[in-house]
Amino acid sequence: MTWNYSKKTTELFMAAVQGKPGSHLGEIEEPDGFGEHGSIACGDALRFTFKVDRHPTDPKQDRITEARYLTFGCTSAIAASEALCAIIEEGDFTPIQALEITNSDIVDYLEGLPQAKIHCSVMGAEALEAAVFNWAQKRGVDLADLGIDIRRDEQEEGRLVCTCFGLTEPYIERKIRELQLRTIPEITNAIKAGGACMSCHHTPGGLQDILTKVWGEQPTAFKELPVLPMARQPKAQPPREMSPFKFAKLVEHVLEEKVRPQLARDGGDIELVDIKDNVVYCSMKGACADCIGSTRTLKMMVEQALKDHVDERIRVVEV
Amino acid sequence: MDIIYLDNNATTRVAPEVVEAMMPFLTEAYFNPSSMYEASRGPADAIAAARRTVAKLLGNARATEILFTSCATESNNTAVYGTIAARPERRHIVTSAVEHPAIYEVAKDLARRGFEVDFVPVDTQGRIDKGAFVRALRPETLLVSVMHANNETGVVYPIAELSRIAKETDPSIVFHTDATQTVGKLPIDLRGSFQHVDLLSFSGHKLHAPKGIGALFIRRGTPCRPFLLGGHQEDGRRGGTENVAFIVGLARALELAAGRHDADEPRIRAQRDRLQSELVARIPYLEVNGGEAERLTNTLNIACHFIEGEGILYQLSEHGICASAGSACTSGSLEPSHVLRAMKVPFTAVHGSVRFSLSHYTTDAEIDRVIEVFPEIVASLRRLSPYWDAAKNVPRPEALAMLSETEMPQAR
């Protein structure tokens, strides 16, 4: 699928990769706020830092003067990071005011994002939130006191729902409410949950169950795929006199005693790969591996040795 | 801006010679080849001739063994579902972990329907684990399907040997190979080295015929039921009025490929090898996916550590260069390519993979241009990356420590 980014998105991206003046690429040394979201394994990651103009008496009146980012991710993830920094610097916010910035502000700044890329804007808002929490800790501001839910235990305590992206039930549930997500594709677009193996979509306690818990029962057209019963055929095997274990041991013994010494004379060797019923899979090593006559050698010599000493019905397949 | 087209494993430019061969059947010779009047003879004869050409160029197969379809996906679906329908008593299928979705998704669908499916793993270079292949074969194995060459990495699989092993294990195992990436690029000898292959799929648009035409070789005597039911076309094996012009185009494209092969192969190989060695020399922390395996000469899949592929493609596109990536952001899923993950490409690089695929029409100047612009594209994204130390131009220490980890860090 080709790109359907807004002009603003591509402009911000190109300005960032070309390092144009005014772009917010980088990391502030000794930042007042530091926040990360995502990971390289998940396909996108953002490191966000900001600096404040410190208020002499009341830290709550600190003003953010500078914001920087480093982003691993696609075109829109990089553009969304630029947008986040630009919004913050243009707004002259206190960190607490900056918490009001949502992912839809980032989407608006970018003049729209494709549905499947909404998670890039959510990543920006998440990293900002983490950075503000970090600032509050450093400056001794008790956010909980101000009525801000800092959800400290959410990631540790919650039940893991999306194992691919490591997302917990409380987090997914909060995001469903905050971002007004109504369907599984909307969840995936916004926070990536359920976007990889998809096994959490309809399992008990999965994404559909969380949606139902939040919004109540919704009419749905989903039906489970029919699982057809296995048609297992009892396999009639002609009985062999010895157990499979003894059979395998004997094959190994014959290869070791009768076959290897002969091959070794020509600088070759043989490896036993597998045994299935009466079929013995072998692989030629050393000088034998490249020998044009190796198939013939195996068929003639190995098979005959095994027929003579183990079982008349043995077939040898070269691997 | 001129387009530099290096995405030939996705699709190819239609050769002018192919267009020329097709034109009569898009204009005056429009008649239905199944009709009785004299005017239909032209289209009917053209299909018969095309069938003979295709059969001959696949190693003197019989014309009756060639089925024309709409695409390789249809050929693959016909091969798998057709075999299942013909042999309901067997319920086990062996395939590889790196198949194209046209087999991979079909196999997963069958697993959901209660079939037993083994996905044979590959090593870090994308080579199939032959021991695991042997161990996967069972008395109730119905079908083995392994691709001839991988579309993402170009790694070539030893189909002659795998099909022989399957048939020597049990002659009634049906062996299918998806040869979409190799027909026209590698010689295929269905009477010689591929004598144990029962079913072989491919499509036209990977070898300079148009999209919308494919073929399936069905060896005489292979149990395979029709997939598209309808009229008596294709000897009753596939309903639907024949796509005359495209069938003619497919045969013409195969002829062209056969005629050009000996001249194209060394030239494309040299271009690809030069692109690879120049990029490896100029860019640190670059992996060549499948670089140590036997590969198609036209394919180069590289993985750039610590950056994401979509930003690479976007910037390449700004230079008019068309390529593909295996990252999540370019696939429509949020998951990176199952092929690269099966190869355990480090997770620091799997999102930064890019595929260049060359063709008959690729020029040395185009390769030069990629060598010129690609290193700066990678550098520009690394400057933005939280895992890269832009000042020293090396990975950050904590990122360097991740390099040896191949598994995704979360529980899967």
How far apart, in Å, are the Cα atoms of B220 and each of B61, B66, B164? 10, 10, 17
pLDDT digits (tens, 9 = 90+) for B8-29: 999 999 999 999 999 999 999 9
Give the closest of A74, A277, A317 to B308, CB-based.
Answer: A74
* CATH number for the domain formed by residue range(s) B16-257: 3.40.640.10
Using the Cβ of A273 and the Cβ atoms of chain B, whether some distance falls under 8 Å is answered with yes
Predicted pLDDT at B402: 83
Of A1, A71, A230, the CB nearest to B386: A71
- What is the nearest CA distance from B394 to chain A, expressed in angstroms? 15
- Which residues, including other chains, have CB under 8 Å from residue B383's CB and lie 6 or more apart? A17, A19, A25, B390
Name the stretches of chain A with pLDDT < 70.
1, 151-156, 218-240, 288-298
In chain B, what are the domain boundaries? Answer: 16-257, 260-402
User: Are residues B384 and A17, on separate chains, in Cβ contact within 8 Å?
Assistant: yes
Residue A12, token pair as written in the block: 């911000």
The answer to whether A35 touches A127, Cβ cutoff 8 Å, is yes
Would you list the domain boundaries of chain A?
7-141, 156-215, 244-318
Find out whether B293 and B342 touch, Cβ atoms under 8 Å.
Answer: no
Tokens of B115: 């079939």
Rounded to a whole number of angstroms, the distance between the first and last alpha carbons of chain A is 42
Contact A17 B329 (CB under 8 A): no
- Annotation marks residue B329 as catalytic: yes
Q: Mark yes or no for CB contact A225/B89 under 8 Å.
A: no
- What does the pLDDT average to over B313-331? 84
Q: Does A49 touch chain B (CB under 8 A)?
A: no
Cβ neighbours for A313, distance < 8 A, ≥ 6 positions apart:
A278
CB proximity under 8 Å: A 100-129 to B = 116
- Provide the pLDDT for residue A294: 60
**Which chain A residues contact residue B306 at CB under 8 A?**
40, 72
Name residues 66-85 of chain A within 8 A of B (Cβ): 70-75, 77-78
Contact B102, B178 (CB under 8 A): yes
Task: List strands edge to edge, sheet with A279-286.
Answer: A268-276, A279-286, A315-318
Residues of chain B found within 8 Å of residue A44, distances taken between Cβ atoms: 308, 329
- Which phi and psi (to 5°) does residue B117 adopt? -125, 130
Nearest CA in chain A to B315: A14
Report, as an integer, the average pLDDT of B60-86: 96
B contact test, residue of A2, A17, A228 with most B CBs within 10 A: A17
pLDDT tens digits for range B28-72: 999 999 999 999 999 999 999 999 999 999 999 999 999 999 999
Find the mean pLDDT for residues B111-124. Answer: 96
Whether B233 shows a pLDDT value over 60: the answer reads yes
Distance from CA of B30 to the nearest CA of A (A): 34
CATH for the B260-402 domain, from 3.40.50.300, 3.20.20.10, 2.40.160.20, 3.90.1150.10:
3.90.1150.10
Q: Which CATH number fits domain A244-318: 3.20.20.100, 3.30.300.130, 3.50.50.60, 3.90.1150.10?
A: 3.30.300.130
Compute CA distances B305 → A121, A125, B71, B386, B404, whole Å.
Answer: 24, 26, 35, 12, 12
Residue B347 DSSP SS3: helix
From the options 3.60.21.10, 3.90.1010.10, 3.40.50.300, 3.30.70.890, give the CATH code of A7-141.
3.90.1010.10
Identify the CATH assignment for A156-215 out of 3.40.1170, 1.10.10, 1.20.58, 1.10.4160: 1.10.10
The whole-number average pLDDT for the span B78-92 is 94
CB-nearest partner of B334 from A10, A46, A195: A195
Six-digit token string for B59? 């190693």
Q: What is the mean pLDDT of residues B281-288?
A: 95
Q: What pLDDT, on a 0 to 100 scale, did the predictor assign at position A298?
A: 65
Asked if A121 and A110 count as a contact pair (C-beta separation under 8 A), the reply is yes
Same fold, A7-141 and A156-215: no
Nearest to A319 among B165, B327, B408 (CB): B165
A17 contacts B315? CB cut-off 8 A: yes
Which residue is catalytic, options B224, B304, B322, B329? B329
B322 contacts A2 by C-beta, under 8 angstroms? no
pLDDT-derived band at B410, boundaries 50, 70, 90: very low
Q: Give the pLDDT of residue B411.
A: 33
